[in-house]
Amino acid sequence: MGLHMPLPVFLFMTLLIQLTTQQKVKYARFVGTKDAIFPSSALKKVTAQSPVSCTLQCSQTKGCRSWNFYQTRTIENCELNSHKALSNDLLVSHGGVYYQDIKEEMDCNDLYGAGVSTIKITGFGIKEVYCDNGWLVEMRRYDSTADFNRNWSQYKFGFGDPRQQFWMGNEALHAITKQGDYSLLINMLSCNGNYYYAKWNLFKVKSELMKYAVDNALTIESYNTTNTDGLLQIRGGNFGTFDNTDAYSPVSNKTCAEQNGGGWWFKSCTYFHLTGYYPDCNHTDTDDRLDTKSKMKSKAITGNNCDIGCLLQAATMKIRRNN
Ligand SMILES: *[C@@H]1O[C@H](CO)[C@@H](O)[C@H](O)[C@H]1NC(C)=O
Ligand SMILES: *[C@@H]1O[C@H](CO)[C@@H](O)[C@H](O)[C@H]1NC(C)=O
Ligand SMILES: *[C@@H]1O[C@H](CO)[C@@H](O)[C@H](O)[C@H]1NC(C)=O
Ligand SMILES: *[C@@H]1O[C@H](CO)[C@@H](O)[C@H](O)[C@H]1NC(C)=O
């Protein structure tokens, strides 16, 4: 007679074989090695009777993306990890075998913990992105060492290090936000030392031909900034950089990107601008309005020393698919 194995067990054995094959392909350096583990990102340790059981426990654990199985241990021999090893991560020899989920995620929705993960974006391909508890970080900025005054092609493909300060890239942003309905969350730290957030719904970035414009569907969902000034200015705005922009300031007779620095969705020369010149928060002279205007800031935050919008010392932009 045929197989008497229950179907789920059979499926997981199939999965295991595929995983082992993929491991050999992806981590060619470890071909034949039976004792390589991925040391970081342990979510939890459980006890498993076999590699198949360890695989099953990973598949049943929210956020588990890879696992290490130790044949030589009797308890806690199955380590469930929140991340898969990236192509440049090292697997180390440590008496265990490394396996990973073959499913390619399309964004960070099902990825827990924080760190760099690989996702497979529809119509784009594989991309290493920074996931933060289900959110995909699109940009992060927190000091003056990162240069955000970049050209069109740098904003198109992205720049910086996803673990530190960076812009993910408009081409990827377009492709990801095309996959479904996404929310946008921006966290800000003002020069006054206060944290704020603003959250939008239906954040969609059009194609390069459409100048990566933010779709008009964008709405504000919630916020704890002082007001909403400027928070909807990005709606319908074309992306612009100093070498490719159509937004122009009649006051300075310069394009917004020339005047304010950075790449952004300039509809007018906005007072909400996270890629403007990095401010010196200790510089208390706010008389030079044009100068303040060109800095990283948000008009939705008012208070002491905020003049025409509060200067910011840090910001992150994150997106997440609505389920
Ligand atoms: C954009 O900037 C990069 C880095 O400075 C440079 O290599 C590239 O040639 C620039 N692209 C254009 C179109 O100017
Ligand atoms: C805004 O909300 C964030 C996150 O909930 C919180 O950390 C921050 O303190 C709040 N800020 C203000 C000014 O209420
Ligand atoms: C604006 O800039 C253009 C090109 O740089 C120049 O030709 C024009 O005279 C300027 N206009 C004013 C009002 O300064
Ligand atoms: C600003 O002032 C704070 C507190 O006095 C200090 O810690 C910080 O280093 C100063 N920053 C700069 C850029 O001067």
Q: Return the ligand number nearest the Cα of 153.
A: 1
The more confident residue out of 319 and 230 is 319
Q: What percent of the chain lies above the pLDDT cut of 70? A: 82
Range of lowest pLDDT (86-100, 140-154, 213-227, 276-290):
276-290
pLDDT at 87 (0 to 100): 66
Question: What's the pLDDT tens digit per position in 119-145?
Answer: 999 999 999 999 998 899 999 999 999
Any residues with Cβ below 6 Å from ligand 2, and which?
Answer: 194-197, 224
Q: Where are the beta strands (DSSP E) in 47-181?
A: 66-69, 78-81, 92-93, 97-100, 114-121, 125-132, 135-141, 159-160, 166-167
CATH level 2 (architecture), domain 7-100: 3-Layer(bba) Sandwich (3.50)
Pocket test for ligand 4, best of 143, 189, 282, 312 (most atoms within 8 A of CB): 282
Instruction: Enumerate the CATH 3.50.4.10 domain ranges in the chain, comma separated.
Output: 7-100
pLDDT at 36 (0 to 100): 65
Mean pLDDT score, 7-17: 41
| Identity of the residue numbered 194 | N
Range of lowest pLDDT (17-26, 189-198, 237-246):
17-26
* pLDDT surpassing 70 at residue 24: no
Q: Whose CA is nearest to atom 7 of ligand 1?
A: 154
Give the H/E segment covering residue 35.
Answer: none
What is the distance in A from the centroid of ligand 4 to the CA of 313? 11
Cβ atoms of 300 and 226 closer than 8 Å: yes
Report whether residue 143 contacts ligand 4, using a CB cutoff of 6 Å: no
Parallel, antiparallel or unpaired: strands 219-223 and 195-201: antiparallel
Spell out the residues 6+ positions from residue 88 whose beta carbon is closer than 8 angstroms to its own. Answer: none
Residues 304/306/308/314 CA torsion (nearest 10 deg): -160
pLDDT at 308 (0 to 100): 67
Report whether residue 154 contacts ligand 1, using a CB cutoff of 6 Å: yes
Q: What percent of the chain lies above the pLDDT cut of 90? A: 48
Cβ atoms of 119 and 106 closer than 8 Å: yes
Cβ atoms of 83 and 40 closer than 8 Å: yes
What is the distance in A from the centroid of ligand 3 to the CA of 258? 14
* pLDDT surpassing 70 at residue 290: no
Q: Return the ligand number nearest the Cα of 253.
A: 3
- C-alpha 52/C-alpha 10 separation (Å) is 10
- C-alpha 169/C-alpha 157 separation (Å) is 5
pTM equals 0.79
pLDDT at 202 (0 to 100): 98
- Tokens 């913990």 appear where? 113
Pocket test for ligand 4, best of 189, 192, 281 (most atoms within 8 A of CB): 281
Question: What's the pLDDT tens digit per position in 179-227?
Answer: 999 999 999 999 889 999 999 999 999 999 999 999 999 999 999 999 9
CATH level 2 (architecture), domain 114-321: Alpha-Beta Complex (3.90)
- C-alpha 280/C-alpha 258 separation (Å) is 20
pLDDT at 172 (0 to 100): 98
pLDDT at 283 (0 to 100): 66
What is the distance in A from the centroid of ligand 2 to the CA of 228? 15
Instruction: Enumerate the CATH 3.90.215.10 domain ranges in the chain, comma separated.
Output: 114-321
* pLDDT surpassing 50 at residue 250: yes
Pocket test for ligand 1, best of 149, 152, 153 (most atoms within 8 A of CB): 153
Q: Whose CA is nearest to atom 9 of ligand 2?
A: 195
- Other CB atoms within 10 A of residue 164 CB: 13
pLDDT at 303 (0 to 100): 82
Report whether residue 18 contacts ligand 1, using a CB cutoff of 6 Å: no
